[in-house]
């Protein structure tokens, strides 16, 4: 999959490029409005990561331009302006997703994966890893085609980890993603552990060949 | 103390003393005048008697019939020489008509007839008439004094009140002034130079303040925006580092700690942004929201998170509390209050949540009351500074409440109780 990152902040651009290349994507860069328009006119990409505030013009204008060219292109907007207006306008103009700075890199990768999954266009929207498949839309999890019944929180944890296989996920970040932003001050993450224990047991009983590993007591990694 | 009362008080203090001194002086003068008049009368009377005596008209040597008394007696030449010719004195005399001694003004005059015999004429007028005069004078003085005092005060107060109307309008404007809100222009409808100057000064101060307020708001919002990208970069680099192979457990642990601290910073920054967005009115869509329902849902989540400490919520639902509010901000409001209650509760305690038609309250046990005037200010954390706590939670609650016309109050009755009302 070929990705164009339109971002003027060199450091962030480098970081995103690195993270996405590591996932095996082909990544190219544009640093301002004009070069972005030029690259988009000349080459074909599968996905564009678009910053809104750019030297030379607005990312929203680029989005409009892209849609006029009628390219079946996935666009993810990245903005420091976490304002509803921008988000609404961006999505109205046909952006596929919206990511507010500062974001977790793993979040970016996960969104990318989800875009890739949707663009496969073969009707199979499931995340697959080993013999486990997770369908986010229907909330079903199967191991070797056999359904495993998971509770809501267990499903959310598994979904979050399956979008970030092989990455270390801090349990605080995981808790925030599954339980909500307001768990940030909890001094004990027993509640994550309790859900994790059940999830692991259920996966093991179903004979899954993936495993949720605890890393040094502060995080998890799906392998 | 109001200015007008202050003026009335000082004025009455001065008037009280000044007019009393004037009254005493005036009274003295009047009494002296009365005495003088009495003496003149006595003199005229005695001249008349002496004239008649010397001209040989036969008049009785004493007259005791009326209030005006006189008697003539012959005295020796030695007596006459040893005394001044005319003496005025106040003494008691016998009044036949009253049949008693009465204080009187007395005039004695020694005169000589053509036979070189000396006579002493004593003329007296009882002082009770004079006393009556003085008493009635005194009463008039007192009445005049009081009437003057009251009317001077009343007139002064009325005149000041009338002329201070532009000033009062200004005061009213100042009372209604809310920084950062749309305010009416300063009232300056007056032709009095001082008041116009004052109004102009207030207007320019308000304008300047308003500009600074805007700049400050702008600054916070800009600074938070500008921090977003560096924070994203920092956080991203740490995540990459964490994923890199060959990391020792110790290194990884340090990195995770660093990452968590960075997340706190990101959260703080995001909260500041959220607050400036609320203050700028950037949350437009609101819908009727059942806050009781949100409370219930989220309390369940917190029960789960704080299960290890045995903290749980108890609901008392007396009605539905429905508010027209932005959905995102409704959960910000509810969750911050809930988080606050759970976070600051000792183990095995009960959070009481009370929902009724025009508000809800959340209470949790606590040992000491908090300073109700400060807890809603940004970054205020009394004895409760904990790592990861932004100190913005309650300030955020207040900001949300303010922007939707809700009130949020804190009370302490052995439990900390936060109440949100319409």
Nearest to A170 among B256, B338, B388 (CB): B256
pLDDT (0 to 100) of residue A124: 64
Nearest to A102 among B231, B307, B389 (CB): B231
Q: Does residue B231 have a pLDDT over 70? A: yes
Helix locations, B244-290, DSSP H = 249-279
* C-alpha pair distances (Å), B354 with each of B291, B321, B362, B416, B417: 11, 10, 6, 13, 10
Chain A contacts of B233, Cβ < 8 Å? Answer: 9, 11-12, 15, 102
- pLDDT, tens only, B366-417: 888 887 778 888 877 766 556 556 778 888 888 888 888 888 888 888 888 8
Chain B contacts of A191, Cβ < 8 Å? Answer: 304-305, 307-308
| pTM of this structure | 0.63
Residue A2 distance to chain B (closest CA, Å): 21
pLDDT (0 to 100) of residue B284: 66
What mean pLDDT is predicted for residues A19-37?
Answer: 88
Q: Which of B230, B233, B273, B345 to mutate to test the interface with A (most CBs of A within 10 A)?
A: B233
Nearest to B236 among A15, A185, A216 (CB): A15
Distance of CA B177 to the CA centre of its chain: 19
Widest CA span of chain A, in angstroms?
57
Q: Does residue B292 have a pLDDT over 80? A: yes
pLDDT (0 to 100) of residue A5: 92
Cα distance from N-terminal residue to C-terminal residue, chain B: 34
What mean pLDDT is predicted for residues B161-168?
Answer: 87
- Among the residue ranges A116-125, A192-201, B159-168, the one predicted with the least confidence is A116-125
Percent of chain B with pLDDT over 90: 2
* C-alpha pair distances (Å), B265 with each of A101, B71, B190, B231, B398: 13, 117, 53, 8, 21
Percent of chain B with pLDDT over 70: 93
Alpha-carbon gap, residue B410 to B369, rounded angstroms: 10
pLDDT (0 to 100) of residue B18: 86
Helix locations, B354-420, DSSP H = 393-403
Q: Does B229 touch chain A (CB under 8 A)?
A: yes
Alpha-carbon gap, residue B130 to B136, rounded angstroms: 10
Nearest to B233 among A11, A172, A188 (CB): A11
Q: Does B182 touch chain A (CB under 8 A)?
A: no
Compute the mean pLDDT over every residue in chain B, rounded to the nearest whole number. Answer: 83
pLDDT (0 to 100) of residue B64: 53
Q: Does residue B21 have a pLDDT over 60? A: yes
Q: Does B264 touch chain A (CB under 8 A)?
A: yes
Residue A43's pLDDT band (cuts 50, 70, 90):
confident
**Count of other CB atoms within 10 angstroms of residue B201:** 11
pLDDT (0 to 100) of residue A186: 65
Q: Do A83 and B282 touch (CB under 8 A)?
A: yes
Q: Does residue A10 have a pLDDT over 60? A: yes
- pLDDT, tens only, B331-371: 888 888 888 888 888 888 888 998 988 889 998 888 888 87
Widest CA span of chain B, in angstroms?
157
- Across the A/B interface, how many CB contacts are shorter than 8 Å? 110
Q: Which of A53, A79, A152, A182 to mutate to test the interface with B (most CBs of B within 10 A)?
A: A182
Winning range, highest mean pLDDT, from A23-37, A113-127, B56-70, B91-105: A23-37
- pLDDT, tens only, A141-174: 888 888 888 888 888 888 888 888 888 888 888 8
Q: Do A84 and B282 touch (CB under 8 A)?
A: yes
- pLDDT, tens only, A176-188: 888 877 776 666 7
* CB within 8 Å of chain A, chain B residues 288-307: 298, 301-302, 304-307
pLDDT (0 to 100) of residue A81: 65
- pLDDT, tens only, A74-84: 888 887 766 66
Chain B contacts of A218, Cβ < 8 Å? Answer: 252-253, 256
């Amino acid at each position: 999959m070929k990705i164009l990152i339109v971002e003027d902040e060199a450091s962030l651009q480098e970081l995103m490029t690195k993270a996405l290349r590591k996932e095996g994507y082909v990544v190219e860069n544009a640093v301002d409005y004009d070069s972005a328009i030029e690259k988009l006119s000349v080459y074909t990409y599968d996905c564009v990561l678009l910053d809104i505030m750019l030297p030379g013009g607005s990312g929203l204008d680029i989005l409009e331009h892209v849609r006029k060219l009628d390219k079946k292109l996935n666009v993810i907007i990245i903005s420091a302006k976490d304002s509803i207006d921008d988000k609404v306008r961006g999505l109205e103009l046909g952006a596929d997703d919206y990511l507010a700075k500062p974001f977790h890199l793993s979040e970016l990768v996960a969104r990318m994966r989800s875009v890739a999954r949707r663009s496969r266009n073969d009707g199979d929207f499931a995340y697959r890893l080993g013999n486990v498949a997770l369908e986010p839309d229907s909330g079903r999890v199967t191991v070797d085609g056999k359904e495993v019944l998971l509770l809501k929180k267990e499903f959310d944890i598994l979904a979050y980890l399956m979008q970030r296989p092989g990455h270390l996920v801090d349990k605080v970040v995981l808790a925030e993603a599954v339980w909500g932003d307001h768990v940030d001050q909890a001094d004990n993450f027993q509640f994550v552990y309790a859900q994790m224990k059940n999830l692991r047991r259920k996966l093991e009983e179903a004979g899954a060949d993936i495993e949720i590993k605890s890393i040094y007591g502060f995080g998890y990694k799906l392998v | 103390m109001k200015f007008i009362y202050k003026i009335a008080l000082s004025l009455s203090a001065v008037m009280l003393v000044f007019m009393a001194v004037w009254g005493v002086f005036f009274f003295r003068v009047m009494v002296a005048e009365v005495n003088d008049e009495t003496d003149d009368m006595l003199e005229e009377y005695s001249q008349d008697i002496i004239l008649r005596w010397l001209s040989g008209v036969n008049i009785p040597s004493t007259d005791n019939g009326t209030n005006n008394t006189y008697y003539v007696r012959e005295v020796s030449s030695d007596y006459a020489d040893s005394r001044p010719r005319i003496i005025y004195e106040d003494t008691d005399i016998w009044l036949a008509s009253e049949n008693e001694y009465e204080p009187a003004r007395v005039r004695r005059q020694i005169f000589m007839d053509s036979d070189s015999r000396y006579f002493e004429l004593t003329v007296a007028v009882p002082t009770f008439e004079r006393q009556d005069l003085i008493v009635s004078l005194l009463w008039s003085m007192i009445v005049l004094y009081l009437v003057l005092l009251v009317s001077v005060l009343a007139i002064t107060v009325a005149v000041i009140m009338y002329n201070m109307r532009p000033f009062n309008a200004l005061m009213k404007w100042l009372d209604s002034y809310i920084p950062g809100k749309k305010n009416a222009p300063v009232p300056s409808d007056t032709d009095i130079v001082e008041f116009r100057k004052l109004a102009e000064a207030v207007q320019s101060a308000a304008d300047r303040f308003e500009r600074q307020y805007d700049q400050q708001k702008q600054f916070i919002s800009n600074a938070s925006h500008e921090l977003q990208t560096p924070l994203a970069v920092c956080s991203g680099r740490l995540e990459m580092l964490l994923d890199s192979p060959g990391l020792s457990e110790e290194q990884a642990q340090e990195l995770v700690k660093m990452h968590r601290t960075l997340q706190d910073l990101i959260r703080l920054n995001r909260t500041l942004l959220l607050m400036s967005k609320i203050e700028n009115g950037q949350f437009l869509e609101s819908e009727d929201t059942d806050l009781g329902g949100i409370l219930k849902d989220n309390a369940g989540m917190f029960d789960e998170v704080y299960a290890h400490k045995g903290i749980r919520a108890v609901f008392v639902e007396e009605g539905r509390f429905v508010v027209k509010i932005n959905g995102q901000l409704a959960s910000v409001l509810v969750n911050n209050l809930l988080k606050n209650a759970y976070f600051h509760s000792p183990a095995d305690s009960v959070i009481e949540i009370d929902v009724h038609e025009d508000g809800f309250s959340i209470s949790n046990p606590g040992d000491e009351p908090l300073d109700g005037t400060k807890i809603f200010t940004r970054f205020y954390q009394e004895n409760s500074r904990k790592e990861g706590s932004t100190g913005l939670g309650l300030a955020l609650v207040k900001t949300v409440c303010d922007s939707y016309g809700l009130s949020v109050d804190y009370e302490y009755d052995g439990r900390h109780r936060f109440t949100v009302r319409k």
